[in-house]
A and B are shown apart, each in its own frame.
Chain A
Amino acid sequence: SQELEQSPQSLIVQEGKNLTINCTSSKTLYGLYWYKQKYGEGLIFLMMLQKGGEEKSHEKITAKLDEKKQQSSLHITASQPSHAGIYLCGADSGGTYKYIFGTGTRLKVLA
C-alpha cells in the first residue's frame, strides 16, 4: 500500500528564517495536497499539486511537486509565528476515495 513519509518530524526556527518540509511517496502521486493544522483543530487546505514539476505559491508558502511525482516540498520564506502548526501532506492514492496522509511536521517559530 502507498505511504507518505514526511521530514523532518519537527522543526524549530527563528522568526525570519526560511524552512523546507518534504513529503515522499512510495508510489507515483496522482494528486498531492498540503494542509496546515493547529493543535486540536481541523486541517486547513493550503495547496494542491497534480502535474510533475508543478509549483504553487500562496503568500510566503511555496509548494513543488517533482517531475517524477513522488516527492513534494513545502517552503516557507521569512517565517513568522503565525506559520506555527502541523503541516501535513495528503495524497490521492489512485482510488476514487482513497486519500492517504503523512504523519505531519510540527513547526515552531520563535519570536
Chain B
Amino acid sequence: ETGVTQTPRHLVMGMTNKKSLKCEQHLGHNAMYWYKQSAKKPLELMFVYSLEERVENNSVPSRFSPECPNSSHLFLHLHTLQPEDSALYLCASSQVRVLSNQPQHFGDGTRLSIL
C-alpha cells in the first residue's frame, strides 16, 4: 500500500452535481490536509484536521465540505461547484509535533473538471 491514497484520480462533474473525494493514509500520521493546486499558482491550503478535529479552514467556500471520520480517512464533499473550482486536489498527511513539524506526504491527487 502506498502511503497516501486518493480516489478517484479523475472526476468530471456538472455544476449541480454532488460528489465526494476520498483520501486514506497508511502512515500513522496525526494530521491530514486538503490542498488545491491550480495552474501557475502555489498550493493553496484548504483544510487541516488534527486528531479528527478541524483546526484550520482557510476561508474556503461552503460548497466544499470536509469530513474526517478517523485519523486515517479524509473526505471532501463537493456540491454546486463553479468552473473556477477545476483543479488538482491533493491530500496530504504528516506527523505534527509540539516543537517541530515533519514533512507532509502527498497522495497523487484528484483532477477535477467542472463542466
Contacts and interface: CB of A to CB of B under 8 A. Distances in A.
Contact of A43 (B42, B100, B106): B106
Interface in A29-48: 30-31, 33, 35, 40-45, 48
Nearest to B91: A42
Given A4-B42, A92-B101, A97-B96, A41 B109 contact: yes
B45 A41 contact: no
Interface stretch (A59-67, A69-77, A98-106): A98-106
Contacts of A103: 40-42
A33 B103 contact: yes
Interface residues of B, number: 28
Given A97-B50, A97-B56, A42 B42 contact: no
Contacts of A104: 42
B40 A42 contact: no
Given A40-B109, A41-B109, A42-B90, A31 B100 contact: yes
Q: Which among B90, B96, B108 has the highest number of chain A CB atoms within 10 Å?
A: B108
Nearest to A101: B43
Q: Which among B33, B50, B103 has the highest number of chain A CB atoms within 10 Å?
A: B103
B88 interface: yes
Q: Which among A4, A99, A104 has the highest number of chain B CB atoms within 10 Å?
A: A99
B29 interface: no
3 interchain residue pairs of minimum CB distance: A42-B106, A43-B106, A101-B43
